Structure 1
Amino acid sequence: MHLATYPQAIEYYQQSWTIARELGNPQGEGNALGNWGAALFKLEQYPEAQQHLESALNISKALGDRANESEALLHLAELYHQTGHPDLALDHCTQALTLARELGIPLLKECEALLITLQPEGERA
C-alpha cells in the first residue's frame, strides 16, 4: 500500500470498527483495530498504533483467535523494535513466532525474519 493511501484506509478501519461495535461483533472489532493499528504504525503514529494493537491483541486472546493474536503480537514487536524497546520487541516476536509455528500460518516467515533482526548477533542461529 502506498503511504498516501493509509489515511483513507484508517477511515475505513474506523468505520469498520464502529459497525462491528454496533453489531456486537468482537471478532470484527479486533480485526478492525488490528488493521487500524498497523496502518497507524506505517504512518509512525506509534502511541495510537500501540493502543489499537494492544486492544486487538486483548480481543483476540479473549476470543481464542490465535491467528489474529499472532498477527497483533508481530505488529507490536515491530512497533517496539522501531521505538527502541528491544526486550519488549523480542518477547512479542517470540510469542508471535510460537503461535505462527503451532498454527502453520504464512505469518511464520515474517516472524522469523524479525526475530533474526532482534536477536543479538551472538545468539543468532
Structure 2
Amino acid sequence: MTASSVGAEDRIERARKLCDDAMFAADPAALAAAERTLDTVEADHALARGRALHVRFLEERVEDPHELELFERAAELYRQLGDPRGEGEALFRVGSVHQVVRGDHDAAVPAFVRARELATQVGDRLTLSYVLRHLAFVEQAAGRTAEAVELMAESTRLRREIGFLPGVAANLVGLGYLTAEAGQPDRALSFIDEAATVAEVAGAHGILRWVDEARVNLRPA
C-alpha cells in the first residue's frame, strides 16, 4: 500500500489544485476531494514510516513508541477512506507490534483476526500470508503445534502462489522449528534444507542466516 515519493508528490499537487478550486472557483466538492487525497497520502506515509520503525526494531531490539501510533493512524484513515486492503495491512502491522515488539500474543489476536477478514475479502494474498504466519506463532505460543503447522503451511502455499520467495524461505524455517517441536526431526531438517535452497535462489541472505541458526538449534543431540 505504500506510495512512491512521486505518487505522494502527485497527490499533494492535486490537493493543492483542489484547494484552489474550492477557494477561487467556489467548487463545493473540491475541498472534500482535497481532504480525501491528503488522507490517502497521510495513511500511506504512516504505514511506510511504521514499517521502517519495525525494521529498525528488528535490528536494534528497542521499541519506538511511535510505531504503534503510526499503524493505528494508518488503519483508521484507511477505514475512513473505505480502503479495506490498506486497513487490513495496517491492522496486521498493529498486531505485529503487540506480538513481535511487545511479546503480547493475546493483544495481537483481535488485529490479526480483523486483518485476516479484510485480506480475504479483497484477495490480498500477501497480507493474508503474513497474518497466517503470525497466527501460527500465536498457536505455537499456546502449545497448539498442529494448528500452528497448518497455518504456516497455508501461509507458505499463498507465498508460493504469488512468487514471494524470501517469504517462502522464512516460512520453511518456521515449519522446520514447528515440526521439530512436533517430534518429527527428519521432516524438520527437510524443511530447513528446502529453505536454504529457496533462500539461495531468492538472494535472501538474511534468511540464510536463519537457516544456519536452525541447523545448529535443530541438530540432534
With the length of structure 2 as denominator, give the TM-score of the two structures: 0.53
Looking at structure 2, the residues matched to 84 and 77 of structure 1 have their Cα atoms a distance apart, in angstroms, of 11
Looking at structure 2, the residues matched to 36 and 96 of structure 1 have their Cα atoms a distance apart, in angstroms, of 19
Aligned-residue sequence identity (percent) comes to 25
Compute the displacement of 1:55 (Å).
1.2
1:22 maps onto 2:80 in alignment:
yes
Q: Is the Cα–Cα contact under 8 Å of residues 145 and 178 in structure 2 kept in the other structure? A: yes
**Secondary structure of 1:5 counterpart:** coil
Structure exhibiting the larger radius of gyration computed from Cα positions: 2
Looking at structure 1, the residues matched to 96 and 111 of structure 2 have their Cα atoms a distance apart, in angstroms, of 9
Which residue of 144, 147, 169 maps to 1:109? 169
Query: How is 1:1-125 mapped onto 2 (pairs within 5 angstroms)?
Result: 1=57, 2-42=60-100, 43-105=102-164, 106-119=166-179, 120-124=184-188, 125=190
Q: Is the Cα–Cα contact under 8 Å of residues 30 and 59 in structure 1 kept in the other structure? A: yes
Of the structure 1 ranges 78-87 and 1-10, higher mean CA displacement relative to structure 2 is found in 1-10
Q: Which has the higher contact order (CA 8 A, sep 6+)?
A: 1
Compute the RMSD of aligned alpha carbons. 1.5
Q: Is the Cα–Cα contact under 8 Å of residues 46 and 79 in structure 1 kept in the other structure? A: yes
Gaps of 5+ in 2: 1-56, 191-221
With the length of structure 1 as denominator, give the TM-score of the two structures: 0.91
Looking at structure 1, the residues matched to 64 and 143 of structure 2 have their Cα atoms a distance apart, in angstroms, of 24
Looking at structure 1, the residues matched to 118 and 64 of structure 2 have their Cα atoms a distance apart, in angstroms, of 23
Q: Which amino acid aligns with 1:92?
A: L
Looking at structure 1, the residues matched to 171 and 154 of structure 2 have their Cα atoms a distance apart, in angstroms, of 9
Q: How many residues align?
A: 125
Of the structure 1 ranges 2-11 and 110-119, higher mean CA displacement relative to structure 2 is found in 2-11
Deviations 1:67-106 (A, max 9, x none): 1111111111122212322122111001001111121102
Runs of 4+ in 1 over 6 A off after TM superposition: none
Compute the displacement of 1:12 (Å).
0.9
**Secondary structure of 2:67 counterpart:** helix
Q: Is the Cα–Cα contact under 8 Å of residues 17 and 32 in structure 1 kept in the other structure? A: yes
